[in-house]
Amino acid sequence: MTKRKLRNLHKKIKELLKEFQDILPDNLPNELSPYQTHQPEIVEEPGSKLTFRAPYRLSPTELADMKKQIEYLLAKGLIRPSTSPYGAPVLFTPKLDGSLRMCIDY
C-alpha cells in the first residue's frame, strides 16, 4: 500500500470513528463481556500434529513494549496466563504516530 493510499485510509477511518463516536468506547473495556455468543474451540483433525514456531527475535525496545502491552491486557482481563507448550510468535509494525502495534503471527 502506498503512503498516499495509507493516508486516505487513515482519513476515512478517522471520519468513521467521528461519525460513530457516540457508540464507540474511548478505551478498552475492563473485562470481557459476559454475554459472549459462543465459546471458542479448537478441533484437531485425527492424526494431525501441532507445529512449533520459535519466537521471533525482538529488539530491546520491542521486548519492553511487548511486556508493557501484555501487562496492560492482563490487567484489563482481556488475556490470561497460559501454561500451554504452544504459542505464536510476536512481531511489531509501526503505527503512524510512531508507536508500535503488536501482532501475533498465528
Span 27-81, pLDDT tens digits: 767 766 666 677 778 788 899 887 778 889 999 999 999 999 999 989 888 888 9
User: Are the CB atoms for 3 and 10 separated by under 8 Å?
Assistant: no
What's the length of the chain? Answer: 106
Gap between the Cα atoms of 20 and 24, Å rounded: 6
Cell 501484555 sits on residue: 70
pLDDT band at 90; cut points 50, 70, 90:
very high
The overall pTM is greater than 0.85: no
Gap between the Cα atoms of 17 and 59, Å rounded: 33
Cell 473495556 sits on residue: 29
User: Are the CB atoms for 51 and 86 separated by under 8 Å?
Assistant: no
pLDDT band at 92; cut points 50, 70, 90:
very high
Q: What CATH superfamily is the domain 3-29+53-104? A: HIV Type 1 Reverse Transcriptase, subunit A, domain 1 (3.10.10.10)
Q: Is 77 left (phi over 0), alpha (psi -120 to 50) or beta?
A: left
Assigned C-alpha cell, 47 = 492424526
Mean pLDDT of 7-30: 85
Q: Taking the domains of the chain in order of start, what are their residue ranges?
A: 3-29+53-104
User: Are the CB atoms for 54 and 105 separated by under 8 Å?
Assistant: no
